[in-house]
Chains A and B, each alone.
Chain A
């Protein structure tokens, strides 16, 4: 056996975390979220927003800490090795972890969890475990995952598996379990009223005595309208607010007895060009570079997004493959016009520019309009066409008409800190019908395809990091798979006179109440 990495994540163990003093769990805290999860079972999740709820109740083997470092969580340790040329991950489960019903967590629960995740009738992410060949139970607290081939994003995706209570689900049945889920997390389910609220109670038997809630009851109110959510905070109806509207962040920063926390959301926005149709002007790299120099993204972030955005070049800070030497293209309209003329378009050209208008990202419509206005100013004259989310998805997908024939504002998200590998296979790899590759891609580049497939099967984090950087550099230089624009940021706020809060991502979003309490 070739041992690659032993206890990789142990480098950042729990003991390294700043410890919160153990406090008595009492009282009730009410918080306000803008979006609502639809399902509360991680197996059945179909959208990132679902994590807002199940992330409070369910846990994985590893997770990201408040500094976005991967740390062991339900895994006491784990190791990546190789047997017969195939990767193997061996996991030792943390002893003493129990589900909310008191059942101890064992290897069988992870095996059961994996079987559920692999079932396409239950999971819409079943394909993410396609590379796993076998789950071998070693004993109650350890198991081995054997892979058919390497899965590059398996480790960065927190080893994918969730602790699911096998005995409990088999006893109560799927329907009842969906109504009243049971996990291992710091919060246990009490009740839910759809479109209204989720009530949770701190789990007394929670294994982590250091990083846990210091309040007994948590009420999560769903308040979709931004200004109403702000009003609810100002009137004291809630003491913690999610997604402060960008235009109100400056006001919140000055509010008395209020702390704010601003961080990237895990979403990565870009403008995708059609470099696929033979007559597309974007087939010429000079035109793509012209576009890259044409947009004053800093100004857009400041004026349109109220500073709630962060520029990035291909891969954002903290994400695997991030290269601090790779800088976004500077705003240089003169250079942009020269490049356009050099490419044979001295008078510019007209092009359809598709703009996403979803409420999912604040001011995304206005951001797109501003970016397209900058393009028009140098001669890439945008005929802006607004698209709601469904029409936008349809346009982007390669497996059904219509084909995107110009520029489209697009995005990818892989949680926090995120991993570009899988999303790149979607919009940077060339489209291959029936293989799930390039489903949203308008780029055909064989060199890039080869590198993307290589990173897809490379599990060694060091080698993979190097590959991601290499891809990012080529992508950046050639402006392939779109022009990266910004990473949206979210601001959350809480009443410091009443609430003690430390932001944790779970596993990819900041609406996690791992450490929260009443003062």
Chain B
């Protein structure tokens, strides 16, 4: 097990290093950040001064090595725009993003599991069809549109929930729905397909033959087995939500990392982009690692193969 953990950590470190190179190069391909920081009449001496201040006058390779060296000690440099440590800017926003992603994931699972189970149990019936249509709606409607609809209905018309902001449990409800609805269709398909396989298996047939109540068979014996593939995917979904919450964060004025990083991309605020993307990469790698490990724990065959 320890060997598996170490191997995965090593692979994760390589992935993060790769991500650091990609984000470093791509961010610099977007152009010169200094021209966006100075007024049009700024003399070249001022532009040169700022370039020196941020080390942008150094060769690109040297800039990268400095970035990696500093990053290893937790220094991602100062944001060009915010003029504060980029790492602090990201870390301060991280809890809000994790909260939103976790709630979004919880919402999607809470919908996908019953819909998937009921669809499998009533395969081809109207419950199956309606369930899958509902799940598909989330994928068919873009998050910004869902978010705005939710605000109009539940905040403006019904006045049940706040339209924006962060701080109380009520604030997370609408953003979590807007974020979590999209993966419901895919998760439903995973649960439904796994349930269909399990429900056709020998041990379920045996349980039925022994007269075990159907509810117990479906929701306990079959679901426990069918949940394994979904659990495997949850890490990926969680990581995707961490990185993809930008639209929802903007609509609901949610103070998260996604919004911070995307705004930094547009203003060529390299330190913030680098810190944000690297931290999202680390979370992505860690969540996949956790899933891999949990998969190994659940199924010893996989652990042995590795």
Contact = CB atoms under 8 A, between A and B. Distances in A.
A440 B251 CA distance: 35
Per DSSP, are chain B's interface residues mostly helix, strand or loop, or mixed?
loop
Given A237-B163, A436-B44, A231 B36 contact: no
Contact of A127 (B43, B79, B84, B151): B43
Contact of B81 (A46, A120, A422, A439): A46
B93 interface: yes
A397 B35 contact: yes
Contacts of B35: 393-394, 397, 400
Given A225-B250, A391-B31, A426 B260 contact: no
A120 B266 contact: no
A341 B29 CA distance: 43
A127 B253 contact: no
Interface residues of A, number: 51
A46 B41 contact: no
A231 B43 CA distance: 44
Contact of A228 (B41, B89, B93, B252): B252
A463 interface: no
Contacts, number: 135
Contacts of A412: 40
Given A178-B84, A231-B152, A231-B163, A225 B253 contact: yes
A235 B44 contact: no
A221 interface: yes
- Residue in A44, A195, A434, A437 with the greatest tally of chain B CB atoms within 10 Å: A195
Contacts of B81: 38, 46-47
Contact of A193 (B37, B40, B82, B255): B255
Contacts of B267: 389-390
B253 A196 contact: yes
Contacts of A436: 41-44
A389 B266 contact: yes
A125 B41 CA distance: 9
Interface in A218-265: 221-225, 227-229, 231-232, 234-235, 237
A435 interface: yes
Interface string A191-226: 001111000000000000000000000000111110
Contacts of A44: 83
Contact of B148 (A46, A227, A393, A434): A227
9 contacts: A124-B50, A127-B43, A228-B148, A228-B253, A234-B156, A235-B159, A388-B266, A389-B267, A422-B41
Interface of A: 38-39, 44, 46-47, 120-121, 124-127, 178, 193-196, 221-225, 227-229, 231-232, 234-235, 237, 388-391, 393-394, 397, 399-400, 412, 422-423, 425-427, 433-437, 439-440
Interface of B: 30-32, 35-46, 49-50, 53, 79, 81-84, 89, 92-93, 148, 151-152, 155-156, 159, 162-166, 250-253, 255-256, 259-260, 266-268
Given A194-B93, A221-B164, A235-B156, 6 more contacts: A195-B253, A221-B165, A231-B156, A237-B165, A399-B44, A426-B40
